[in-house]
Amino acid sequence: MKPETKLPRVGTTIFTVMSQLAAAHGAVNLGQGFPDFAVPERLVDALARAMREGHNQYAPMTGIPALRQAIAAKLARVYAVQADADTEITVTSGATEAIFDAVHAVVRAGDEVIVLDPAYDCYEPAIELAGARAVHVPLHPRTFAPDWDRVAAAITPATRMLMINSPHNPSGAMLSATDLDTLAGLLRDTGIWLLSDEVYEHIVFDGARHESVLRHPELRARAFVVSSFGKTYHCTGWKLGYCVAPPALSEEFRKVHQYNVFCSFAPAQHAFAAMLEAEPEHDEGLGAFYQAKRDRFREQLLGTRLLPLPVPGGYFQLVDYSETSDLDDAAFCRWLTIEKGVAAIPLSPFYASPPPGQRLARLCFAKNAATLDAAIVRLQKL
């Protein structure tokens, strides 16, 4: 007997589909967003030491005190904000868990949640499982900037949350301080909560500053801000992140968290606490590290028939393939993987209604130079 599905529009995530297709056809996988280079050696040593020292049982539900205190110190250093380690910081099993918990903490059946398309694919299922409805507002189809007038028009008495993502996946676009001021004006005098997905917070380029919601007191007072250790330390498989929210929001967030996973991987928590203490400057070099990869990959792409779009932040490169093919993006990425040996991610799964005729694909440049070089050799044959 087959149960009635609670997620009728959800199948296997596009990232899994394309990674499986890449493996089946021996393609260079620039699809799924994971680094193929080493985790910092200090962090690996700290993880092994934590396990040898016996930190292998349940961690405190909110996260080990040393890690929460280290996160608070980092927030003070990076964003000049004071976050209480005991009442405002919760360690989670990755950013996806934090997003799910934040939605379920405050969103109820019949509510509406505004998401900006293209949006990461875990947002809408979390909303639907809460019995709510995702209201999709498109970003600009080329610059991926928000149209705040359209966002304002989407707000109704049923709106309970608005979700933003900067640096943005899949485009790398970033919100400015002016954007945050405008957003604050839209939400002022409403009961709308804000979820800010900031997992690529330290991967910003060209001297820009990441405008975290934590820098904006008015928005911070109504926000869940989600971050990822996996993105910052090249260890996506460790699945560790955290959520910063005011005490009243954190209290509701933790009610969901404790019955979702209860606690997160204990040895890794001890390892990150040690890493943050010993090497607090790691995040400060991340932008330059990835900018070198971005710039080199962009130069290589200019020698192909793919047109690279600007990438202000994150580790994804959008390419316009319209000079190469008239296929829709899903068909093109499948053809590229099977026939040309390079896996990419189509943009259409990030949308409720993709722009007509859009011919964009996402490539991940969080890879070793040898991996990117191998992909370029194949892409030059398009």
On the question of pLDDT at 318 being above 90, the answer is yes
On the question of pLDDT at 128 being above 90, the answer is yes
pLDDT band at 248 (very low <50, low <70, confident <90, very high): very high
Q: What is the mean pLDDT of residues 285-298?
A: 98
Say how far apart CA 178 and CA 6 lie, in whole Å. Answer: 39
Sign of CA dihedral 130, 174, 198, 307: positive
**Which positions ≥6 away from 43 have C-beta within 8 Å?**
233, 235, 271, 272, 275
pLDDT at 23: 93
Same domain? 176 vs 292: no
Same domain? 307 vs 352: yes
Q: End of a domain among 279, 301, 331?
A: 279
- Does residue 265 form part of some domain? yes
pLDDT band at 9 (very low <50, low <70, confident <90, very high): confident
Mean per-residue pLDDT of the chain: 97
- Domain of residue 146, residue span: 41-279
Over residues 32-77, the pLDDT tens digits come to 888 999 999 999 999 999 999 999 999 999 999 999 999 999 999 9
CA of residue 298 relative to chain centroid, distance: 22
Same domain? 56 vs 67: yes
pLDDT at 164: 98
pLDDT band at 173 (very low <50, low <70, confident <90, very high): very high
Same domain? 234 vs 258: yes
Predicted structure pTM score: 0.97
**CATH label of the domain that carries residue 370:** 3.90.1150.10
Beta strands in 234-283 (DSSP E): 241-244
Are residues 121 and 13 in contact, defined by beta-carbon separation less than 8 angstroms?
yes
pLDDT at 1: 85
Same domain? 257 vs 310: no
pLDDT at 302: 97
Q: What single-letter DSSP state applies at residue 307?
A: E
- Does residue 8 form part of some domain? no
Q: What is the mean pLDDT of residues 202-214?
A: 98
pLDDT at 10: 83
